[in-house]
Amino acid sequence: MGQLLRSSVCAILVGLFPAASDAGPALPTEPDEFDRREVDAYYDWRNNMFFRVFKLESMEAKPNFMTARRTYKVSVNQFGYEVAVTYAYPLFYWVDLNGDGEFEPGAGEMWIDVEEDGPNGNEKLYDPMAPGDAPRGPVPLPPSPSLRSG
């Protein structure tokens, strides 16, 4: 029974998310603002990003798609709610490929679109903890040894 359930979840996810091309993964298009599939939206002041969480499969399912946009202005409206003015397209995309309700960057479920031009095949898999040219995750790189004695 467990194998049948996992196969069904995989078949549903394959139907929702088109196959990847040579240019990169084919991500779903982000639903419009106020779409009923959006289950959460919030501004995170720590990283100055606006997140949107979706249930693309059905409203009874776990959230399976999330985006994050950079913001360039945040204010509080007359009713005390934060209003974030964002860039047109997301910088980050998450797709819950294994259907566990979690977005796991280390499991190949996170993409970055450095051009912020919408899902068109130029997005790349992103792992915030992978070593690279600069710090990418929550843990900063250790300081370089200095030549000063002391």
N-to-C CA span, the chain: 66
As a whole number of angstroms, the distance between CA 21 and CA 101 comes to 25
Residue 39 lies in a domain: yes
Residue 65 lies in a domain: yes
Residue 118 lies in a domain: yes
Q: Which of 77, 78, 70 is nearest to 44 (CA)?
A: 70
- Supply the range of the domain harboring residue 114: 2-125
Return the DSSP state at 46. T
The number of distinct structural domains making up the chain is 1
For the chain, 150 residues long, give each residue's pLDDT as a single digit of tens. Answer: 444 433 333 334 444 444 444 444 578 999 998 899 999 999 998 899 999 999 998 888 899 999 999 998 989 999 998 888 999 999 999 999 988 888 888 888 999 999 999 999 899 998 887 776 544 555 444 454 555 554
